[in-house]
Amino acid sequence: MKRSTAILCASLFFNISAVKADVTFDSDISGIFKAKCSQCHGGLIPQGGLKLNSLKNIKKGGKSGNVIIPGNAESSLMVQQFYLPKTNPKRMPPMGAPELTEPEITKIRAWIDGGAK
**Rounded percentage of the chain residues whose pLDDT exceeds 70:** 82
Q: Which helix (H) or strand (E) holds 90?
A: none
49 or 14: whose pLDDT is higher?
49
Spatial distance between the Cα atoms of 53 and 36, rounded to a whole number of angstroms: 11
- pLDDT given at position 17: 45
pLDDT, tens digit (0-9, with 9 covering 90-100), for 27-61: 999 999 999 999 999 999 999 999 999 999 999 99
Spatial distance between the Cα atoms of 112 and 110, rounded to a whole number of angstroms: 5
Residue 69 in contact with residue 76, Cβ under 8 Å?
A: yes
Residue 112 in contact with residue 79, Cβ under 8 Å?
A: yes
Is the bond preceding residue 93 a cis peptide, omega within 30 degrees?
Answer: yes
Confidence of residue 102 (pLDDT cuts 50, 70, 90): very high
Mean local confidence (pLDDT), 60-76: 97
Backbone φ and ψ of 62, nearest 5° = -140, -155
